[in-house]
Chain A
Amino acid sequence: EVQLVESGGGLIQPGGSLRLSCAASGFTVSSNYMNWVRQAPGRGLEWVSVIYSGGGTYYADSVRGRFTISRDNSKNTLYLQMTSLRAEDTALYYCARGLYGSGSHYFDYWGQGTLVTVSS
């Protein structure tokens, strides 16, 4: 059974740093493309970052230069290192497995999310 479990969220002051983790089971993280997606309170979904099986990474303009996505193949875990956090980064952060097939990109499995609150 595929499962994604996020952790590492919490209350952090503006300018601070936080590392989110997403422990995967039932599949191999390094063989798939893995994403972070966030949702601010009462708002829609916002894609944050992706790491492809080959190691390539991409970031939304709103986080580029501040966030770093990575994975630990030995732990089958995805990470998101967040620095220089701002109030607008406050959101529920989901990790999601990405697939490409049938002519579309899609996220077939999602975790339950970890909440990041940036506030003084």
Chain B
Amino acid sequence: SSELTQDPAVSVALGQTVRITCQGDSLRNYYASWYQQKPGQAPVLVIYGKNNRPSGIPDRFSGSSSGNTASFTITGAQAEDEADYYCNSRDSSTNHLLFGGGTKLTVL
């Protein structure tokens, strides 16, 4: 399958840990990248590679991978982490880039 599947919505209590997952066959060949998008704003890269954060991204954000599943974890969620999160990868058979459907994170 050339799709990436994410849970549509996840919630977490303030200060707790939350994991967002992304499944797809392309993740057996590439690590996922992850993006945060807040309302009215462009997406922002937060994780790429095995577990790399661009400059300025908080270290409470991390990524991991196993088989066809990539995970994005926020350890100690903050109110400002409430956003939509998207995973991304590449389908090596078609050379198409792929996005997951997105996960809306609510911080309670």
Contact = CB atoms under 8 A, between A and B. Distances in A.
Interface of A: 35, 37, 44-47, 50, 56, 58, 60, 94, 98, 101-108, 110-113
Contacts, number: 74
Given A45-B43, A94-B42, A113-B42, A105 B90 contact: yes
B24 to A, nearest CB: 13
B72 interface: no
Given A104-B89, A110-B43, 6 more contacts: A44-B84, A45-B99, A94-B42, A102-B31, A102-B52, A108-B54
Interface residues of B, number: 29
Nearest to A60: B96
A50 B43 contact: no
Contacts of A56: 95
A66 to B, nearest CB: 16
Given A104-B30, A104-B33, A106-B48, A50 B54 contact: no
A50 B97 contact: yes
Most interface-central of A45, A46, A56 (chain B CB within 10 A): A45
Given A58-B94, A110-B43, A103 B50 contact: yes
Contact of A104 (B42, B49, B95): B49
Nearest to B97: A47
A46 to B, nearest CB: 7
A112 B102 contact: no
A35 B97 contact: yes
Contacts of A94: 42-43
Contact of A108 (B45, B94, B101): B45
A58 B90 CA distance: 12
Contact of A58 (B31, B49, B52, B95): B95
B89 A105 contact: yes
Most interface-central of A102, A103, A104, A108 (chain B CB within 10 A): A104
B98 interface: yes
A44 B102 contact: yes
B86 interface: yes
